[in-house]
Structure 1
């Protein structure tokens, strides 16, 4: 009898998991305007769900919880969701969140809200390749054309994993694909994602995967979350791929391209709720620990597109959350 009950329970568990996922996808399409909203559905995440309202995605490491991005819910319910989550996980760290999240956590719970980096957003209706700083993009487009690169959109191709593995070996973090702050290349839920490839003699030599950004059940933008290319292109095939995709999106009437996080790219001004200790530590990491991650290279590459820069933050309980920051770097596989 006991074995029979266990067997009967299994479909119920699967149905509940499917229902939870369906609810999160519905919330994503209604309220997924954050650049990392789509990435909240990456594998190995946990969820704090409030059915009918929204969810907070988080990951655990070393017994600590790291919430990723803003709560996926209507702005009027953001405070409620944060209150419930903090009540359940009073020591949680919030990563890559917006200023409204910072203000709520600081004003109600005394959290620090320290700049974690910046995001760059491009209004596609006014986008063009004109301007001195975009010369490197124009040069990359010409180089790709002269070398016979054909850029086009196609479906998901699992064979590009070989390009990814070779590309990772050229990076600062050679041992593993970064996760959490960048969603994995291979994911289960891919609805709305777009794939642009660069081909040489019919073989893919580079690609960018774009994730959708939503508001009110409408697609309003994309964010390039996964990009890989051969190291043989001096000016970077990435620029040519980006420019091609942006022209396609612009022609479709897409409003915005969010270039995503530039970690540790911080403005000079220090806001009252920020931890000066953590700011100083992150500045040292950016200036002296380039072997961990190519912070300055990524900042330079994204700055060529001349987007609108917006701050992003991490929220933490202590002025110097050394253990939490170490745990987060381990979670992301940067160290």
Structure 2
């Protein structure tokens, strides 16, 4: 669907290959120029729809239960963010925005009356300052030494489709046993993989764990990485993730990569409630975090990422109603958490 001001694009079987490739090339160009949000690369995952302004950028979103869920900040120049949001809301006036920055919150709240409620936190490691020193990093050092003692070798390699075997076994050990989480975490198997990096833990020539890193861009240059997919064999303790992360951070630091963003820690929020937040939704999310750990290992993930002592940044969801119960239920269904 296209008019003189905007284009809505969604891959379909009816689209000619040339059109699909053109759409992808256009979005990739925007991604490499403006993809500074840690979830920007995940906007390229399958089954997303795209709202585009020609020559400006795009907003990636998913349709579910008759609602639209926009993922992350608009992929565009910062000075065009307000325009992108305004035009998107002209078409989808009740859309929900998930895992967005405070800049997006401020515009949606000030211009459109949205609530902007903390959804979780992100942790950013400045690699120039990174080291394994410090008491809180003892668990990482122990994991590194333990992996070495078991004969595990960590190395970087290309994408290996055999990792699906490890992934399926790993998912069966998780609280969400039926499906791989999507939307908030991009799928492990995707068509567009340019710039991604793969680190494997090997034992006797066989992969027993891995982490996949996605690129973060700024002004046309690589600005960092985010670990988006991690798995390990059920025969090894969670410490294998620490060892893989420590190795990858050392490699990136040696290469001069500026930072690694550890990505979302869902429902890890600051205790102080900001003026634009919904107290009702904050209270509900607090109950989910404290009493519904069977849905997702919220506290375990928070603990693991906190060991790296990154700089914490808030991330938000933006919504029209003070208590968007249906939208939140739909989002948990969309992500396959429930």
Look up the match of 2:10: none
The match for 1:257 among 257, 260, 277 is: 260
Asked whether the equivalents of residues 156 and 198 of structure 2 are also in contact (C-alpha less than 8 Å), the reply is: yes
Task: Assess, with a 3 A threshold, how the Cα gap between structure 1 residues 11 and 228 changes in structure 2: closer, same or farther.
Answer: closer
- SS, match of residue 72 in structure 1: coil
Map of 1:159 onto structure 2: 162
Q: Is the 8 Å Cα contact of residues 200 and 210 (structure 2) preserved in structure 1?
A: yes
- Tell me: CA distance 1:91–1:231, structure 2 relative to 1, closer, same or farther (3 Å): same
* Structure 2 Cα separation of the partners of residues 258 and 100 of structure 1: 18
Displacement after TM superposition at 1:18 (Å):
1.6
Q: In structure 2, do the counterparts of structure 1 residues 279 and 14 end up closer, same or farther at CA, with 3 Å as the change threshold?
A: same
* Aligned 8 A contact 1:195 1:210 in 2: yes
Q: Pick from 287, 290, 295: which aligns with 1:292?
A: 295
The match for 2:327 is 324
Structure 1 outlier segments of 4+, above 6 Å: none
Q: What is the alpha-carbon distance in structure 1 between the residues aligned to residue 220 and residue 197 of structure 2?
A: 18
TM-score for the superposition, normalised by structure 2: 0.95
**Shift in Å, 1:237:** 0.3
Q: Measure, in 1, the Cα distance between the counterparts of 2:102 and 2:250.
A: 31
Residue pairs, 1:7-26, within 5 angstroms = 13-26=16-29
Secondary structure in 2 matching 1:318:
coil
1:221 and 2:224 matched: yes
Instruction: Output the CA distance in 2 between the equivalents of 1:108 and 1:51.
Output: 23
Corresponding position of 1:236: 239
1:85 aligns with 2:88: yes
In 1, the alpha carbon distance for the partners of 2:101 and 2:41 equals 16
1:125 maps to 2:128: yes
Q: Contact 2:169/2:234 (CA < 8 Å) preserved in 1?
A: no
Residues 160-216 of structure 1, C-alpha deviations (whole Å, 9 max, x = no match): 100000000110000000000000000000000000000011000000000000011
The residue that corresponds to 1:187 in the other structure is: 190
Q: Are 1:49 and 2:58 an aligned pair?
A: no
Match in the other structure for 1:212: 215
- Output aligned runs, 1:24-39, within 5 Å: 24-39=27-42
Shift of 1:16: 2.1
Question: What TM-score do the two structures reach when normalised by structure 1?
Answer: 0.96
Q: Which runs of 5+ in 2 are unaligned?
A: 1-12
* 5+ residue gaps, structure 1: 1-9
Count of residues in Structure 1 that have an aligned counterpart in Structure 2: 326
Residues 96-175 of structure 1 mapped to structure 2, 5 A cutoff:
96-175=99-178
Query: 8 Å contact 1:206–1:237 — kept in the other structure?
Result: yes
| Residue 9 of structure 2: aligned partner | none
Q: For residues 238 and 132 of structure 2, what CA distance do their matches in structure 1 show?
A: 16
